[in-house]
Structure 1
Amino acid sequence: MPRRRPGHIRAGIPDRNQSSHSTPAIDRLSPAVLSEIVRIERTRNYLQPGDIGTTLRLWSEYVRRPERELWHDDEFGNMHWYCCGNPLEGRFLLDSVIRAMSQRGARELRKILEELDAFMGMPAR
């Protein structure tokens, strides 16, 4: 019977040095800020791992929608938000996360949010 190669055996063993938490997939943020986001998601009781990246993606998709779709969101309520999240509440969450971050991290995330807000045409704060 042929012997299995050591590399094939090690491939099946999970790496104990590898963290079970995944890093958020947010473009244009430095690795230091991404690790700060992971730390915030672990230490805040109102956040789960990956919430900030998901919320940022939700807000990004919302601001890129056509204006005719944005008009109907507040009139009768949007039932789609119950399953996928409310982007307006997500924007509020991102503001609270920015207040919890360091100055450097907040600056990088704020720059992304300002570009998205400008794309939508929201007034600057």
Structure 2
Amino acid sequence: MPRNRPRRAAAGASHHRASSAQPVIDGLSSRALSEVHRLERTRNYLSPGDVAMALRQWKDYVRRPERELWQDFEADGGLYWDCCGDPLEARALLDTVTQALSPRTARELRRLIARSDALWNRPSPSYLADD
């Protein structure tokens, strides 16, 4: 009577399930990252990678020199926003996403957002010349 042997994989075949490349968000645990990816797949207002893109866009925007931020408000339509998306909409999306996540994952994501918010909310330097 022949034994049931495990089937061998074909040459070159991987034993791991193939997965599409999903962006990694530095500072999120693997559990939180998994929840974010699940949310992006199940909500009609999100696409895969939207949360990472919004976080990166907000982070990049608040790190721009103050003179460039001022020009965005002076220009008609905001030149930065035309090519790279609206960073204020990206920030609003991050708020929406944190409300849809579990409390634990939302805390992790809010901690990352807070780093950029701190730069955005810091007081401007005084323009008065010191004697």
Residue 41 (str. 1) matches residue 53 (str. 2): no
Residue 66 (str. 1) matches residue 65 (str. 2): yes
Asked whether the 8 Å contact 2:36–2:51 carries over to 1, the reply is yes
Task: Give me the TM-score of the superposition, normalised by structure 2.
Answer: 0.77
Task: Classify 1:72/1:45 alpha carbon distance in 2 versus 1 (closer, same or farther; 3 Å).
Answer: same
Q: How large is the RMSD of aligned CA atoms in angstroms? A: 1.9
Shift of the alpha carbon at 1:14?
Answer: 6.5
Greater C-alpha radius of gyration: 2
Shift of the alpha carbon at 1:54?
Answer: 0.8
- Equivalent in the alignment of 1:3: none
Deviates more, 1:92-101 or 1:112-121: 112-121
Aligned residues with identical type, % of pairs: 54
Q: How many residues align?
A: 112
1:55-95 per-position Cα deviation (integer Å, ceiling 9, x unaligned): 11111000100000111112222233233211110000000
Gaps of 5+ in 1: 1-8
Residue 103 (str. 1) matches residue 103 (str. 2): yes
Asked whether the 8 Å contact 1:23–1:35 carries over to 2, the reply is no
- Equivalent in the alignment of 1:5: none
Asked whether the 8 Å contact 1:38–1:49 carries over to 2, the reply is yes
Task: Give me the TM-score of the superposition, normalised by structure 1.
Answer: 0.81
Residue 57 (str. 1) matches residue 77 (str. 2): no
Asked whether the 8 Å contact 1:23–1:34 carries over to 2, the reply is no
